[in-house]
Amino acid sequence: MFRICVFILVLLAGSVAPAWSADGDRPFRAEADAMAEVDAALARAEERGTRLLLVFGANWCHDSRGLAGHFAQDDMAALIAEHYELVWIDIAWRERNIDVLRRFGAPAIYGTPTVLIYDPAQGLMNADTMHSWHTAYSRSHDAVVEYFTVWAEARPAASLTATSAVYQQLIADIDAWEMREAVRLNAAYAQHAAWREELAPHFERAGNDEESTRLVELFHSVEQDIDRHRSNMRADRADLHAQAHERVREALLVLAGDEPLGFDTVAALDANPPEISLDYPSYPDPLYPWEDE
């Protein structure tokens, strides 16, 4: 029995994540004027020649607090102080400060935290990975330091395929699709957040009152639908980008034949653009109860 207890304690100790604690790091302030803070930080970044680091998250989010815990370590604090202007932006239940998010090129929150690195002269730097930080708490500290060290000065790498006007049009089409779906998702966030406030008394009575229990169960069912929608959008966005790159590259290879790919191949493709379609996802309609009203 003693050995079993020791074994369990060892397992529990091994499951505790990093040596730092995320519980004490709650930097997101609901009362902050996020747009004004971003304006001031952007002005400082332009003056200093650094980059803007925008973290969209919430204090209720384990991974948002996890990233704050990483940032509080001495090495990360020094790195941020030298290379970035950091702003923590509260998103409430993913419906707050969406105007700030969209200002910098991201139409919706798919996971928390969402991290944008913006260069005043070059624009959004980490568009491909800004939605990947929903696993921040479980990332190793070394991996976090490496990421922000690289993006302190790096520029997004542009492949030969990405220089094609055909590819760029496909990306513009994907962006338009994402914007349309983001409007729907953001409306769901806002509706659900308002509903959360309205149901506050029912949360307290759920389990003891039949109507309250029904309403709370419906609330959580819709919450699951929203979570699926945002997870699907994040995955579908990545898949559409991959499709665009792969299909344009295939068209370039066919056009080049036995010759090596070059900018002349891209110019030839753009001069006579082929029909390239992408496999866009189809989401249920209506997806949420209020869409059927």
pLDDT of 16 strictly over 50: no
Residues 170 and 214 in one domain: yes
The number of angstroms, rounded, from the C-alpha of 129 to the middle of its chain's C-alpha atoms is 8
Q: 235-288 pLDDT, tens per residue? A: 999 999 999 999 999 999 999 999 999 999 999 999 999 999 999 999 988 888
Same domain? 143 vs 167: no
pLDDT band at 22 (very low <50, low <70, confident <90, very high): very low
Nearest to 61 by CA among 148, 169, 135, 2: 135
In a domain, residue 117? The reply is yes
pLDDT in the model for residue 14:
36
| Shared domain check, 199 and 121 | no
Query: Within this chain, do residues 77 and 198 fall inside the same structural domain, yes or no?
Result: no
Residue 116 has pLDDT above 90, yes or no: yes
On the 0-12 / 13-18 / 19+ scale of CB atoms within 10 A, 240 is buried
Query: Residue 213 domain-assigned?
Result: yes
Let me know if residue 6 belongs to a domain.
Answer: no
* 220 pLDDT above the threshold of 50: yes
Do residues 255 and 230 make contact, with C-beta atoms less than 8 angstroms apart? no
Does 146 lie in the same domain as 72?
yes
* Residue 141 domain boundaries: 18-150
Residue 265 counted as domain residue: yes
Q: How many helices (H) and strands (E) does the chain have?
A: 10, 4
- Give yes or no: residues 172 and 240 share one domain: yes
Last residue of a domain, one of 150, 181, 215: 150
Same domain, 146 and 165: no
Q: State yes or no: pLDDT of 222 exceeds 50.
A: yes
- Looking up residue 67, the CATH number of its domain turns out to be 3.40.30.10
Is 8 within a domain?
no
Tell me what pLDDT residue 183 has. 93
* Structural domain ending residue among the three candidates 91, 119, 150: 150
Cβ atoms 189, 226 nearer than 8 A: yes
The answer to whether residue 38 is domain-embedded is yes
pLDDT bin (cut points 50, 70, 90) of residue 19 is: very low
Is it the case that residue 65 has pLDDT exceeding 50? yes
For residues 183 and 97, state if they share a domain.
no
**Beta 51-57 vs 114-119: how paired, if at all?**
antiparallel
Lowest mean pLDDT among 82-86, 146-150, 154-158, 272-276: 154-158
> 60 in a domain, yes or no?
yes
How many structural domains compose the chain?
A: 2
Shared-domain flag, residues 287 and 181: yes
* 86, part of any domain: yes
pLDDT for residue 284: 87
d(CA 10, CA 33): 46
- Do residues 203 and 110 share a domain? no
281 shares a domain with 195: yes
> Average pLDDT of 19-28?
63
CA distances from 246 to 160, 167, 173, 240, 242 (A): 12, 10, 16, 10, 6
Higher pLDDT: 10 or 59? It is: 59
Is pLDDT larger for residue 11 or for residue 154?
A: 154
Mean pLDDT of 152-169: 90
pLDDT at site 293? 62
- Check whether residue 38 and residue 141 sit in a common domain: yes
What number of CA atoms fall less than 13 Å from residue 30's CA on the CB side?
A: 6
pLDDT of residue 204 exceeding 60: yes
Element at 189 (helix H, strand E): helix 165-198
For residue 166, what pLDDT is reported? 97
Rounded to a whole number of angstroms, the distance between the first and last alpha carbons of the chain is 60
Tens-place pLDDT, residues 42-53:
999 999 999 999
Last residue of a domain, one of 121, 150, 179: 150
